[in-house]
Amino acid sequence: MKKDYLRVFDFTKDEFLFLIKRAKELKEGKDSSKSPLIGKSIGMIFEKPSTRTRVSFEVAIYQLGGYPVYLSPRELQLSRGETIKDTAMVLSRYLSAVVIRTFSHRIIEEFAKWSNLPVINALTDTHHPCQAMADMLTIFEKKGKLEGIKIAYIGDGNNVANSLIEASALTGANINIATPKGFEPLRESVDKAKNFTRVSLFSNPFEAVLDADVIYTDVWLSMGEENHIEKKSKFKNFQINSELLKKAKPDAIVMHCLPAHRGEEITDEVIDGPQSVVLDQAENRLHTSKAILEFLLAV
């Protein structure tokens, strides 16, 4: 039976923790001679620009022995009005899995409904589950554990925040979310996560980062919101800078899913500083992508 990865909660706690462990093994070169995707072609439909997600998936597919098929929306019949249903059913006859980066989460849910092959969410406006898995691998590498770790996310309650909340629930990490009023994360993700771990919402970032092990931020304006000047003005007190960093634990790590708008949500001093792990975090997108592909295509 096929399994999709559209949001973090599509995996059980055991599955999610297994995949973090598996990604770490793959990063360390274990089973490097195996090629589980030999003879398999993986479709990649990207409606949004991408650096880390596209490259990490293409390289992951290649290193696992598969063939990545990049499908620009402009070159598909979707751009001429073909339904998601028809596209999904046809691609199911050619491919072994599909990776999709799109806008509305309903699009990927509709695609997965009609596809008989695994569908992986490479980002929607609501969730970014592959990023969250790489985040948790990074925290585990740096802190040696996940359960009980205190994460402080500062900024917009966007797709990254939603997935980070769900990943915290499955790993036992505690998470504080600090956003301006009106920009809180998805209530459904928060409520469900509270059944497993502590999730606290703040409007003051200095309270949220107090004694945190991890400080995390993302851009204030997501793709498609670049001209939303009014929204940006509400985030001026939510910058990760040296003063905010002092309120966290002395050995706290700083994370950003990138790309960063330096001088807005984070300063150069912090993102380039000794506590920053953003490059390790970016690298781990490759290893978790490999683990996800291997797992879903073996189900």
CB-CB contact of 291 with 23 (8 Å): yes
Rounded CA-CA distance 89/95 in Å is 10
Decide: 286 and 60 in contact? Cβ < 8 Å.
yes
In 3D, which of 162, 198, 176, 143 has the Cα closest to residue 247?
176
Alpha-carbon distance 295 to 276, whole Å? Answer: 30
The DSSP H or E segment spanning 115 is none
In the sheet where 119-121 sits, what is the strand order? 67-71, 41-46, 97-101, 119-121
Helix (H, G, I), strand (E, B) or coil at 99: strand
- For residues 271-295, one letter each, b for 16 or more C-beta atoms within 10 angstroms of the residue's C-beta and e for the rest, the string is beeebbbbeebbbbbbbbbbbbbbb
Q: In whole angstroms, give the CA distance from residue 25 to residue 287.
A: 9
Task: Please tell me the distance from the alpha carbon of residue 48 to that of residue 66, in angstroms, as a whole number.
Answer: 23
Q: Which two tokens stand for residue 160?
A: 């990254």
Side-chain half-sphere of 262: how many Cα atoms within 13 Å?
7
Phi, psi of 265 (to 5 degrees): -75, -15
> What positions carry a catalytic annotation?
101, 128, 131, 218, 257, 285
